Amino acid sequence: MSVLHRYLIVVAGGRGIRMGAVVPKQFLTLSGKPIIFHTIDRFLEYDPGIEVIIVLSRDSTSVWEELCIKHGFDHDHNMVIGGEERYNSVKNGLSLVRQKSLVAVHDAVRPLVSTGTIERCFLMAEKKGNAVPFINPSESIREIHSATRNRVLNRDMIALIQTPQVFRSDILLAAYGKAFQPGFTDDASVVEAAGHKINLVEGNTENIKITTAEDLMVAEVLLGNQAYPRRTS
From residue 174, alpha-carbon distances to 8, 56, 119, 127, 228 in Å are 18, 23, 24, 18, 38
Q: What is the pLDDT of residue 23?
A: 78
The answer to whether 172 touches 94, Cβ cutoff 8 Å, is yes
Q: What is the pLDDT of residue 231?
A: 46
Q: What is the C-alpha separation between 51 and 42, in angstroms, rounded?
A: 13
Condensed to tens digits (0 to 9), the pLDDT of residues 34-66 reads 999 999 999 999 999 999 999 999 999 999 999
Would the pLDDT of 134 be above 90? yes
Query: What residues pair up with 123 in beta bridges, in sequence order?
Result: none
Q: What is the C-alpha separation between 208 and 206, in angstroms, rounded?
A: 6
Q: What is the C-alpha separation between 168 and 105, in angstroms, rounded?
A: 11
Q: What is the CATH number of domain 5-224?
A: 3.90.550.10
Closest by CA position to 27, among listed 214, 210, 227: 210
Q: What is the pLDDT of residue 217?
A: 95
Higher-confidence position of 228 and 184: 184
Taking residues 158-171, what's their average pLDDT? Answer: 98
